[in-house]
Amino acid sequence: MKSNLKEKDDVCYAQPKTLEQRLAIANDFTKRFKYDVPFGIDEMSNAANDAYAAWPERLYVLDESGRISYKGGNGPFKYDPKEVRAWLAQRYGEVKHPEATPAAAAPEKKS
C-alpha cells in the first residue's frame, strides 16, 4: 500500500524467504510501533493462514485454552468489530473502555 512506503509509515519489507526473516520483520514492527499485543507468526508454509482463512480480514477470539470460541465473517463485507464487541460483552461482561471512533479531520490551516 502507498501508506507503507518509506515517505509514509516505512513498513515495507522484502518478502521473507525463511522463518528467521519472518520473525525479524515481526520483531522490528513490534518494537518500532510499540505493538504490545501478543500475536502468532505463521510458519513459511502459511498453514495457519490456510486453516483459518483470515484473508483478507477476519476476527477470531481464542478462549483460555487456545481454542477458537468466536469466528467472524470474511472481510471486508462481513467484517464486523461491533459484533465481536457484543459477543465479548455477552460472554465476559461489559467492555470497560469506550468504542473507538474515527478521528475528526483537522481543520485546514490558511496561509
- Domain locations in the chain? 1-45, 53-93
Give the span between the Cα atoms of 111 and 108, in whole angstroms. Answer: 10
Give ∠ CA 39-23-59 in degrees, rounded to 5. 25
User: C-alpha cell of 87?
Assistant: 459477543
The single-letter DSSP state of residue 111 is: -
Answer yes or no: are the C-beta atoms of 69 and 61 closer than 8 Å: yes
Beta pairing, strands 68-71 & 60-62: antiparallel
Q: How far apart are CA 39 and CA 22, in angstroms?
A: 13
pLDDT of residue 45: 95
Q: How would you write the pLDDT of the chain (111 residues) with one tens digit per residue?
A: 565 565 666 667 888 999 999 999 999 888 888 877 777 899 999 988 888 776 677 888 888 888 889 998 887 788 888 898 899 999 988 877 777 665 554 455 554
Q: What is the pLDDT of residue 105?
A: 47
